[in-house]
Structure 1
Amino acid sequence: MEMSSQTRNSTPLPPSCKLSPVCRTHGVSLSSTKVPQVSEVRVQLEMHALWQQFDQLSTEMIVTKAGRRMFPTFQVKISGMDPSSEYVLVMDFIPVDDKRYRYAFHSSSWLVAGRADVAAPSRMHFHPDSPARGAQWMKQTVSFDTLKLTNNLLDDNGHMILNSMHRYQPRFHVVYVDPAPDSHLNANRNFCSFFFPETQFMAVTAYQNHRITQLKIASNPFAKGFRTTDTQDWLVVTYNSSPE
């Protein structure tokens, strides 16, 4: 179900969602001030083992002018929603720190190269099925496979704008669509935010660590055409994470 601009305008994301503390992550409740429709929501990261493999190598995600999809794709399983209530699901990306980085090939490590560039415009990515009832969200894996990353500051396609050579933390927000006419009075209580540290990544225009390239090719079904028995070829391949 496509989410129209009229629907989005009628169910705005609370402004404080961008700065909110995490409500629950890895099943640990950190807040008891939320409405019942979100207070028991739990989120489980899918492909957790794969995310950990990438995290051990310092995950890199390609950003392009046209926009590039993430791999691994951010996917979650949700429980604890009110089946009959409607929810909007949203993602955003926040800088991990105020640093800009460079990759040192001789030591295969990331080094601080200076202060962060001017922050890119902050955006939210609404899951295209939003809004939907809790029963629908909970019956299957929720995938943000249409989300794309770009370094084009003038992007008008709704892609997430990130600075290359900066580290980011994806965040996931569950927003209860409160039908009450005075719902704005409970805006701070109608959403819950989640993050998973193992999904942090460095935004890059080209992969820096060849082991990241190898792991992406080995684990991404869209990259099977690049696979070869000669691992040396992996170091120079131009990698496409998924169809544009």
Structure 2
Amino acid sequence: MAGFHLSDLLELPLPRFDVAPLLHTKAPQVTGVRVQLEMQTLWQQFDQLDTEMIVTKAGRRMFPTFQIRISGMDPAAEYVLLMDFIPVDDKRYRYAFHSSSWLVAGQADAVAPSRMHFHPDSPARGAQWMKQTVSFDSLKLTNNLLDDNGHMILNSMHRYQPRFHVVYADPAPNSHLNAHRNFSSFSFPETRFLAVTAYQNHRFTTIL
């Protein structure tokens, strides 16, 4: 579509922290968008145990899978959906088996290369996104800093917050000039997790 290219999103000024956008600065196509986390009960179960998410060199799908339901979109407008992951803090962790808890083990490793994962159905009209659950089941996590498969690169033993972004695919000429107005970001505290190469807390095996 004229005026919009996925490559424009690579320069998107996504917020570093989970701060509610100022509604009056946003395009009307995104101001009314609302997002509900699916499988919230399962996420909360994991969160109570300090969620651990397995990462591998080859790439591993998330469990629980990040799934959401969306409302408030302009049915006729087109949107791109994407995710990224940001460090929760600047710490590296280790699991203390004697106390079944995570402890700070030192300063975080160098930040892994920042990537975005685009939902494969993007762009699509709001009516399509809103009619069913949106699942990011194709997203994979890796700890391979040299990954060339497009997986999300994370450091093991670090804590992360997944973020979800809705971007209005503005067809207007020079739409990149309004990029800061055309997106809205969402995060859910219960989806925070520690990246691990194997489950440290044995209690996770009772949930799976």
Q: Secondary structure at the match of 1:140?
A: coil
Q: Which residue of 1 aligns with 2:176?
A: 184
Map 1:78-89; keep pairs closer than 5 Å.
Answer: 78-89=70-81
Bigger Cα displacement from structure 2, 145-154 vs 12-21: 12-21
Classify the secondary structure of the residue corresponding to 1:145: coil
DSSP-derived class of the 2:30 partner: helix
Inter-partner Cα distance in structure 2 for 1:7 and 1:15: 12
Q: Structure 1: which 5+ residue stretches go unaligned?
A: 1-5, 25-29, 218-244
**Which TM-score applies when normalising by structure 1?**
0.81
Matches within 5 A, 1:13-92: 13-19=10-16, 21-23=18-20, 31-92=23-84
Q: 1:8 aligns with which of 6, 10, 17?
A: 6
Q: Structure 2 length as normaliser, TM-score? A: 0.94
What SS does structure 2 have at the residue aligned with 1:12?
A: helix
The residue aligned with 1:145 is 137
CA distance in 2, matches of 1:15, 1:79: 23
> Deviation per CA, 1:166-219, whole angstroms, max 9, x where unpaired?
00000000000001102122110100000000000000001000011221x2xx
What is the distance in 1 between the residues matched to 2:164 and 2:97? 33
One-letter identity of the residue aligned with 1:8: L
Matched, 1:214 2:202: no
Are 2:43 and 2:64, in contact at CA under 8 Å, matched by a contact in 1? yes
Give the distance between the partners of 1:111 and 1:41, measured in 2 at CA: 38
- Report SS of the residue matched to 1:97: coil
Q: Equivalent residues in 2 for 1:85-234 (5 A)?
A: 85-215=77-207, 217=208
Question: How many residues of Structure 1 are paired with residues of Structure 2 in the alignment?
Answer: 205
* 1:89 maps to amino acid: L
In 1, distance between residues paired with 2:125 and 2:157? Answer: 38
Q: Contact 1:64–1:151 at 8 Å: present in 2 too? A: yes
Aligned-residue identity in percent:
79
Q: Distance in 2 between matches of 1:20 and 1:168?
A: 12
Q: 1 or 2 for the larger relative contact order (CA 8 Å, sep ≥6)?
A: 2
User: C-alpha separation between the residues in 2 aligned to 1:128 and 1:23?
Assistant: 26
Residue type matched to 2:91 in 1? Answer: K
Residues of 1 paired with 2:36 and 2:19: CA distance?
14
Q: Residues 18 and 187 of structure 2 are in contact (CA less than 8 Å); yes or no, is this contact kept in structure 1?
A: no
